[in-house]
Amino acid sequence: MKDLKLCESDYRFMLLVWEAEPLPSGKLVELCWERLGWKKSTTYTVLRKLCERGFVRNENTVVSACIPKEKVQVYQSGHFVEHVFEGSLPGFLTAFLGGRPVSEQEARELKELIDQHTRKGGGTS
């Protein structure tokens, strides 16, 4: 699978692209200045780097994403759980919740998600 890992600044850049695509590169420069505090040269350096990695394309000065946001989020969250929590989803959830109470609605939604993924994975529930 292609490496979809992004550092924090590249991810924030991609959020702007996903939010406004397709967008003229000049508009992207404005957004990066307004929201990230980046100079034009920084924006174009990151744009070039992410074009080379296949995350975005810049055709006729119009920038658009090549990879959907959801695909990057799935990869990055899986990578995070694997490397920080040694692949333990319960370990991740315990740390994420950190003693924070879960509402009845949240508990129902989480249970439904677990049930759906258990069925997809071929397990029993």
Mind giving me the DSSP string for the chain?
A: -------HHHHHHHHHHHHH-SEEHHHHHHHIIIII---HHHHHHHHHHHHHTTSEEEETTEEEESS-HHHHHHHHHHHHHHHHSTT-HHHHHHHHHTT----HHHHHHHHHHHHHHHHHTT---
Domains (range + CATH), the chain = 8-67 (1.10.10.10), 85-120 (no CATH)
Q: Give 118 or 64, the one with higher predicted confidence.
A: 64
pLDDT digits 0-9 by tens, 109-125: 989 988 988 876 544 43
